[in-house]
Structure 1
Amino acid sequence: MDTSAGRLALGSLGPLHWLAIALAVVTGVVHLVLGVDFLPHPMGAAFLIAAVGFFGGVALVLVGYRRRLLYLLGVPFTAGQVVLWYLLNRPAGVADLSGAEAVDKVAQLLLIAALTVLYARDR
């Protein structure tokens, strides 16, 4: 695993890694767009911080920095996003979700599953 600053460690990434990266980018973009839309409200800052977390995690995985720890930390970080969204929105059903919310929540749930598998597999 290459942990040198500025060097990408792409050779050790498999299909599940790339899926997790794509899912993290999707939810990061959703949070970035929402963050900009919500500014200057404090929720805008919260969305932007979440976006930085997702993009930062992707960057660290791409350079090969302590991936197993990133998988472990990514699960509660992403799950926390789902829980906070639910507590703030209290949707009664799928019909209550906007298109962006549906895409984001599906991406996040799949990301949690992918990170869990990567963590268990990367010993």
Structure 2
Amino acid sequence: MSTTDRTFALDSLTPLHWLGITMALVSALVHLVLGIGFLPHYMGVLFLLATGGFVGAIVLVLIDYRRTLVYLVGIPFTLVQIIAWYQVVQPDSLAALGTADIVDKVAQVVLIGVLIVLYQRET
């Protein structure tokens, strides 16, 4: 099958896949809102690029295109999001975090866990 013949392969997705897709969508939405809010500052562009990364990965999983590679790349991609956020925000307590911070970081931690399990299952 050529790449132009790709269709959604939803029947091959497990509940764990759907959990990962949901977590990636949550993070993409948070990054989209923040990105739009930060424009035209360069941080806005970075947030929108992160949005594109999450959405692009979701599409690749949905069409069953090199899923194992998507999982493997998604782990450090998501981890970098967490590290970069910590470097920029430098929270000193949980009270210093906003709702978007908490929702996004919980979604990203869960996503990393899901990606690790999915990768292990397929290798």
Give the TM-score range, shorter chain.
Answer: over 0.9
TM-score by length of 1: 0.96
* Aligned-partner residue type, residue 77 of structure 2: F
Alignment-derived partner of residue 92 in structure 1: 92
Alignment-derived partner of residue 113 in structure 2: 113
Structure 1 Cα separation of the partners of residues 112 and 96 of structure 2:
23
- RMSD of equivalent CA atoms: 1.6
> Contact conserved, 1:35 with 1:45, CA < 8 A, in 2?
yes
Alignment-derived partner of residue 50 in structure 1: 50
Deviations 1:22-59 (A, max 9, x none): 00000000000000000000000000000000000000
1:29-108 mapped onto 2 (5 Å cutoff): 29-108=29-108
Cα gap change, 1:59 to 1:95, in 2 (>3 Å): same
More helix by share: 2
Deviations 1:52-72 (A, max 9, x none): 000000000000000000000
Structure 1 Cα separation of the partners of residues 6 and 33 of structure 2:
27
Deviations 1:76-116 (A, max 9, x none): 00000000000111101111110011000000000000000
Cα gap change, 1:3 to 1:68, in 2 (>3 Å): farther
Alignment-derived partner of residue 23 in structure 2: 23
**Fraction of identical pairs, as percent:** 52
Structure 2 Cα separation of the partners of residues 23 and 79 of structure 1:
14
Mind listing any 5+ residue stretches in structure 1 that lack a counterpart?
A: none
Paired residues in the alignment total 123
> Contact conserved, 1:82 with 1:108, CA < 8 A, in 2?
yes
State the Cα distance separating 1:122 from its structure 2 match: 1.2
TM-score by length of 2: 0.96
